């Protein structure tokens, strides 16, 4: 449910020699939602990236993602090879862990996304949210995400809609709380991650709250990527899933070294 604003703490620490473009996914921040009626999948957002790249008229670009942006970017790179020159993925483990289920627990995966969506169809399509004061919205984010007030203000800066009398509502569309994973096998998922792969850096958070066996599933795939791809490597930094917001200073040195280099990160430094 995050907007482009969640990258502000990180970008403020990165060198100004690069040109940064972040975007709100549909149903997030200030972007319009997808047309109503169907659940949204990660592949739907691949088309969003394609549209942005075409609008910006980029022949090539570096792709930096957080969380499920890793899976989305991997499929974009598979479908449109040669566009991405380097990839940096921040804590890709948790969304990758969810892809254990469509292959190994298909019934559970279907009920979690699709059966639940259609059984609760009116609520998922509802765009109404509770009105909050500014302080209530900040407090909600602080408690739910373990952020400071300053960090919560940055996260919410593109997600609050004034409704009058000092009240706000969140712009998040409820349907986007459950973006469906791509129902592919482990083999196809690995192919999507590794086919046409440019130099890639995985920045993993030390605090991983993914549950087993999905957590091990994700770890095995990332380990395989590091082993099989000479231009792919991982580094672990202290922090949780929101480490790019809470501790950008531990992320930045690795990203800068990777961007400045030839794309083959010095593994001896890890």
Give pLDDT, residue 172.
Answer: 86
Q: How far apart (Å, rounded) are the C-alpha atoms in residues 119 and 106?
A: 18
Q: How far apart (Å, rounded) are the C-alpha atoms in residues 223 and 118?
A: 37
Give pLDDT, residue 262.
Answer: 66
Question: Between 264 and 5, where is the model more confident?
Answer: 5
Question: Does residue 184 form part of some domain?
Answer: yes
179, 167: one domain:
no
Number of domains in the chain: 2
pLDDT of 40 > 60? The answer is: yes
Which domain CATH number covers 204?
3.40.50.1820
107, 32: one domain:
yes
User: Which strand (E) or helix (H) includes residue 53?
Assistant: helix 42-56
**pLDDT band per the 50, 70, 90 thresholds, residue 44:** very high
Give pLDDT, residue 167.
Answer: 95
Question: Does residue 125 form part of some domain?
Answer: no
87, 193: one domain:
yes
* 8: its two tokens: 């502000």
Q: How far apart (Å, rounded) are the C-alpha atoms in residues 175 and 177?
A: 5
Average the pLDDT over 184-206 and give the result. 93
pLDDT digits (tens, 9 = 90+) for 10-22: 999 999 999 999 9
74, 22: one domain:
yes
**pLDDT band per the 50, 70, 90 thresholds, residue 36:** confident
155, 237: one domain:
no
Question: Does residue 60 form part of some domain?
Answer: yes
pLDDT over 70, % of the chain: 96
Beta strands in 94-249 (DSSP E): 132-133, 160-164, 167-170, 200-205, 232-237
* 95: its two tokens: 């969304």
User: Which strand (E) or helix (H) includes residue 64?
Assistant: strand 61-66
Question: Does residue 197 form part of some domain?
Answer: yes
Sheet containing strand 200-205, strands side by side: 61-66, 84-90, 200-205, 232-237
Give pLDDT, residue 177.
Answer: 84
Neighbour-count burial of 252, counting CB atoms closer than 10 A to its CB (0-12 exposed, 13-18 middle, 19+ buried) = buried
Average the pLDDT over 153-180 and give the result. 91
Distances (CA, A) of 149 to 1, 12, 81, 160, 261: 18, 17, 41, 15, 36
pLDDT digits (tens, 9 = 90+) for 168-191: 999 888 888 889 998 888 888 999
Whether the CA torsion 12, 234, 97, 65 is positive or negative: it is positive
**Whether pTM exceeds 0.85:** yes
pLDDT of 270 > 70? The answer is: no
pLDDT of 121 > 50? The answer is: yes
pLDDT of 120 > 70? The answer is: yes
Would you say 124 and 175 are in contact if contact means Cβ atoms under 8 Å apart? Answer: yes
59, 10: one domain:
yes
Give pLDDT, residue 48.
Answer: 96
Q: What angle do CA 102, 106, 112 make, to 5 degrees?
A: 80
46, 113: one domain:
yes
Q: What angle do CA 51, 258, 206 make, to 5 degrees?
A: 95
pLDDT digits (tens, 9 = 90+) for 230-267: 899 999 999 999 999 999 999 999 999 999 986 555 44
Q: What is the mean pLDDT of the chain?
A: 91
* 203, 217, 63, 67 alpha-carbon torsion, rounded to 10°: -70
136, 181: one domain:
no
Give pLDDT, residue 127.
Answer: 65
Helices (H), strands (E): how many in the chain? Answer: 14, 7
Question: Does residue 62 form part of some domain?
Answer: yes
pLDDT of 269 > 60? The answer is: no
154 CB-near residues (< 8 Å, 6+ apart)? 5, 6, 8, 9, 245
Domain containing 156: what range?
A: 130-171
């Amino acid at each position: 449910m995050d907007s482009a604003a969640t990258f502000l703490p990180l970008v403020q620490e990165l060198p100004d020699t690069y040109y940064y473009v972040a975007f709100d996914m549909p149903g997030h921040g200030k972007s319009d939602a997808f047309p109503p009626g169907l659940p949204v999948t990660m592949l739907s957002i691949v088309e969003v990236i394609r549209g942005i790249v075409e609008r910006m008229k980029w022949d090539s670009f570096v792709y930096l993602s957080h969380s499920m942006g890793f899976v989305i970017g991997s499929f974009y790179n598979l479908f449109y090879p040669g566009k991405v020159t380097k990839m940096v993925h921040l804590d890709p483990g948790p969304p990758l862990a969810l892809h254990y289920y469509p292959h190994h627990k298909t019934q559970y995966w279907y009920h979690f996304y699709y059966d639940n969506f259609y059984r609760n169809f009116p609520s998922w399509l509802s765009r109404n949210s509770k009105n909050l004061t500014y302080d209530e919205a900040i407090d909600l984010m602080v408690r739910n995400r373990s952020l400071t007030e300053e960090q919560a203000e940055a996260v919410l800066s593109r997600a609050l809609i004034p409704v009058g009398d000092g009240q706000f509502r969140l712009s998040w569309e409820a349907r986007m709380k459950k973006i469906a994973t791509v129902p592919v096998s482990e083999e196809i998922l690995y192919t999507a991650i590794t086919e046409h792969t440019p130099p890639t850096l995985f920045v993993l958070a030390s605090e991983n709250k993914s549950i087993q066996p999905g957590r091990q599933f994700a770890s095995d795939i990332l380990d395989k990527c590091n082993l099989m791809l000479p231009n792919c490597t991982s580094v672990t930094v202290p922090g949780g899933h929101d480490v790019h917001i809470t501790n950008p200073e531990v992320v930045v040195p690795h990203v800068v070294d990777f961007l400045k280099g030839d794309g083959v990160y010095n593994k001896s430094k890890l």
